[in-house]
Amino acid sequence: MRISPESLRGGLVAGAVWVLALWAVGMRPTARLDELFATLAQLTGLLAGYGALGMFFLMARVPAVEHGVGADRLARWHSRGGRWVLMLCLVHALLALCGSAVRNGHDVLTSALRMLGRTPLALATLGLALLCAAGVVSARAIRGRIPHETWRAVHLLTYLGAALGIAHQLTGRDFAANTCALWLWALLHIAVVVLLVRYRIVVPVRQALRHNLRVLEVRAEGPAVFSVVMRGDGLDELAAEAGQFFRWRFLQRRVWHSALPFSLSAPVRDDKLRITVKAVGNHTRRIRRLKPGTRVLATGPFGAMTAHRRKRRKVLLLAGGVGITPMRALFETLPGGPGDITLLYRAGSEDQLVLREELEAIAAFRQAGLHYLLGPSDASFNPLAPQTLRGLVPDLARRDVYLCGPHGMTVAATAALVRAGVPQKRIHTESFAL
């Protein structure tokens, strides 16, 4: 089962409409300023609570959602939605504060101190502070400057912040006179909590116990690039497809605490999985020193950049840098006859090409096209120019395109493909650097 982006978006919008209807039913028209502030505070509070619930659902790693929508799109929706939720929380707090000040005839500072003196509101304020902290470290300008472990630790505090916000809502005036709405709201939260526990805790632990996955070998593939080969039991039961990824946690000192997404760089075969990683940070450099026999927790498979997205007989695979890893697996497994599959591999120079011997062997066996687009990014000749792409793949506009690479390369390649005549809906890409 795969839930499409349109179906998921429609469901989220329908839920927001229900929240608006809930607010409208309980709203009492008034001309009093304090009541107007209170009514608007109630609306923003309900929308913020629903939005937070939606953000947790998007990141619950439900397979039907991940496979149908795609991890990158879910991450983008989560990031954008998180900013709106945080803004709604802040507006809610400000409106409630203004309403209290007008009602009691106090200045804003005095009202704030009085409100913080009440335990429920103090806890709700703490929850808001935790959400703000997660929002700050998730800002693009800051996230790239702090270790991933720090970002993750602060981000996990959103669970506590959301829990405090939920308690504030359920004990507030929003549901005081509507028992049915209270139960529906509580059941909605329980359902999301169950999904989070199931797919982020229970399923990974069960998979680890069932498949007994361990590191078999770590081997160099190029400058600062290496492959990790793992072996387990019954790995065909995972139903992992080329183009998909897992979130990997290696149970060795100094790396066990982080689970990062890496794509399969080869099809599952003989109860073996392989990922190919570029050492770009402390965590990936430590993975390079994994010892054979190290136990592995792998959650997944995730991702929608698989053969299911394909609409055309002919396909172009376009990879940049270490983005070749899912493309290599697709290059071997996508169905097609001679000439149906073509791979373009963008790299700065020949020594940066990864898995070259494997790619050339696959191309020869399948009679598939394989071209290397080499040269520095600042060169006067642009290897990703529309005319260059059309010259290498004359029927480009009639193909599906699978694209994976660094963010800048992906953006430039997408623009070039569109200018070359490829409809946006036939450009399939997925990124985890969000």
Q: Which amino acid is at 323?
A: G
Which pLDDT does position 177 carry in this prediction? 60
Average pLDDT of the residues in 255-259: 79
Which pLDDT does position 432 carry in this prediction? 53
* Confidence label for 343 from pLDDT (cuts 50, 70 and 90): very high
pLDDT in tens, 167-214: 777 666 656 566 777 788 888 889 999 999 998 889 888 888 889 999
pLDDT beyond 70 at 379: no
Which pLDDT does position 173 carry in this prediction? 61
Which pLDDT does position 74 carry in this prediction? 87
Tell me the domain boundaries of the chain. Answer: 5-206, 212-302, 307-429
Higher local confidence (pLDDT), 59 or 29: 59
Q: Which residues contact 328 (CB under 8 A, 6 or more apart)?
A: 265, 266, 276, 319, 355, 358, 359, 362
pLDDT beyond 90 at 364: yes
pLDDT in tens, 56-109: 999 888 888 888 888 778 888 888 898 899 999 999 989 988 888 888 888 778
Average pLDDT of the residues in 153-176: 75
Residue 110 CB neighbours (<10 A): 13
Question: What b/e readout covers 343-361, taking b as 16+ CB neighbours within 10 angstroms?
Answer: bbbbbeeeebbbbbebbee
Average pLDDT of the residues in 140-150: 74
Domains 212-302 and 307-429 fall in the same CATH topology: no
Which pLDDT does position 179 carry in this prediction? 73
3-state helix, strand, coil in the chain (%, to 5): 55, 15, 25
Average pLDDT of the residues in 269-295: 87
* Interatomic CA distance for residues 330 and 265, integer angstroms: 9
* Interatomic CA distance for residues 127 and 166, integer angstroms: 10
CA-based nearest residue to 131, from 98, 105, 106, 165: 165
CB 294 within 8 A of CB 250: yes
Average pLDDT of the residues in 351-358: 90
Average pLDDT of the residues in 226-240: 91
| Average pLDDT score, the chain | 86
* Interatomic CA distance for residues 251 and 233, integer angstroms: 18
pLDDT beyond 50 at 434: no
Which pLDDT does position 378 carry in this prediction? 66
Strands (E), 52-196: none
Architecture in CATH of 212-302: Beta Barrel (2.40)
* Confidence label for 264 from pLDDT (cuts 50, 70 and 90): very high
* Interatomic CA distance for residues 424 and 192, integer angstroms: 33
pLDDT in tens, 101-142: 888 888 778 888 887 777 778 888 888 888 888 888 877 778
Which pLDDT does position 209 carry in this prediction? 86
* Interatomic CA distance for residues 41 and 39, integer angstroms: 5
Fold of 307-429: Rossmann fold (3.40.50)
